[in-house]
């Protein structure tokens, strides 16, 4: 398609699951923005270097051959096992929380949900008035960054944790990022949570790569709407103009 339109192309390696391509999709973007003058190349190189250092370190710490006593991802997966995870985080980490929810959905074939502070104080929090028989089915994962959270947000999180979460959820897991930069911190959580979802899938006897329900839906919708045919026609029309 890119060749037909005469557009630049960054080729990605073929992955067993599209969601595994996040690092390849993201890595070129900061450098492209720096080349366009939108970001400082010095900052991009510093933050990307931090990402590499953090992920390399975590890859060793969370590897499958590392025992659960020394493997944070295995311990958290075991704690979540048999429950439905709820992920809460401060707004700057919203995408991280959503990513973990999606990874639990796709890798583990389990329901999960995510929400953000401070917005959840206005609506989501009311759900914690549900009966104990319901709430004890949930494990709450709190993604914290004590250096980033404003004092009012931190106070709300601590109050809710003490008065509601610790008393009502089956368990509460707090996770803090590693790294020296915003990007390093973000990817430290992304990587750790991705690994947790893989171990959780194994505990449930699920194949993380398989996506039967999604494939059925995709082909049914494509067949009914003729999506692929219409897309090809639009691209050819665009290329000929």
- How does the average pLDDT of the chain come out, rounded? 90
Quickly state the pLDDT bin for 9 (edges 50, 70, 90). Answer: confident
Residue 214: per-residue pLDDT: 58
Cα-based distances in Å from 148 to 24, 30, 94, 100, 106: 27, 22, 13, 20, 30
User: Which sign does the torsion angle of CA 109, 115, 120, 123 carry?
Assistant: negative
Percent of the residues in the chain that have a pLDDT greater than 90, as a whole number: 75
pLDDT for 67 equals 97
Show me where the domains of the chain are located: 18-203
DSSP string, the chain: -HHHHT---------SSGGGGHHHHHTHHHHHHHHTTSS-HHHHHHHHHHHHHHHHHHHHHT-TTS-TTT-HHHHHHHHHTTSEEEEEEEGGGHHHHHHHHHHIIIII----EEEEETGGGGTGGGGGGS-HHHHTTEEEEEE--TTTS-HHHHHHHHHHIIIIIHHHSSEEEEE---SSSHHHHHHHHHHHHHHHHHHHHHHTT--SS--HHHHHHHHHHHHHHTHHHHHHHHHHHHHH-
> With bands split at pLDDT 50, 70 and 90, how would you rate the model's confidence at 11?
confident
pLDDT at 19: 81
CB–CB of 67/114 below 8 Å? no
Burial of 155 (0-12, 13-18, 19+ CB in 10 A): exposed
What was the pLDDT predicted at 234?
Answer: 76
What is the second-level CATH architecture of the domain 18-203? 3-Layer(aba) Sandwich (3.40)
What confidence score (pLDDT) does residue 220 get?
61
Across 197-203, average pLDDT: 97
pTM assigned to the model? 0.85
pLDDT digits over 50-89, tens only? 999 999 999 999 999 999 999 999 999 999 999 999 999 9
Candidates 120, 141, 134; CA nearest to 197 is 141
Between CA 149 and CA 176 the distance in angstroms is 12
Q: How far apart are the first and last CA of the chain?
A: 14
Question: For residue 187, how many other CB atoms are within 10 A of its CB?
Answer: 27
Q: Average pLDDT of 22-32?
A: 92
Whole-number pLDDT of residue 225: 64
pLDDT-wise least confident of 14-23, 35-44, 68-77, 193-202? 14-23
């Amino acid at each position: 398609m890119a060749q037909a339109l005469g557009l630049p192309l960054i080729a990605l390696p073929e992955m067993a699951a599209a969601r595994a391509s996040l690092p390849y999709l993201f890595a070129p973007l900061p450098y492209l923005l720096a080349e366009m003058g939108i970001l400082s190349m010095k900052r991009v190189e510093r933050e990307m270097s931090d990402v590499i250092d953090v992920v390399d370190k975590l890859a060793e710490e969370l590897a499958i051959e590392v025992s659960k006593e020394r493997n944070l991802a295995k311990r958290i997966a075991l704690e979540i096992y048999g429950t439905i995870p709820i992920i809460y985080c401060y707004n700057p980490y919203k995408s991280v929380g959503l990513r973990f929810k999606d990874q639990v959905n796709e890798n583990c074939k389990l329901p999960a949900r995510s929400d953000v502070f401070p917005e959840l104080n206005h609506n989501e929090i009311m759900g914690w008035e549900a009966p104990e028989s319901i709430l004890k089915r949930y494990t709450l994962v709190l993604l914290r960054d004590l250096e980033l959270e404003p004092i009012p947000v931190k106070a709300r999180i601590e109050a809710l944790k003490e008065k509601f979460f610790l008393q009502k959820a089956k368990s509460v897991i707090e996770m803090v990022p590693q790294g020296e930069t915003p990007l390093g911190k973000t990817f430290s959580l992304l990587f750790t949570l991705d690994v947790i979802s893989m171990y959780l899938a194994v505990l449930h006897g699920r194949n993380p790569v398989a996506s039967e329900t999604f494939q059925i839906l995709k082909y049914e919708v494509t067949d009914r709407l003729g999506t692929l045919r219409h897309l090809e026609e639009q691209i050819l029309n665009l290329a000929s103009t």
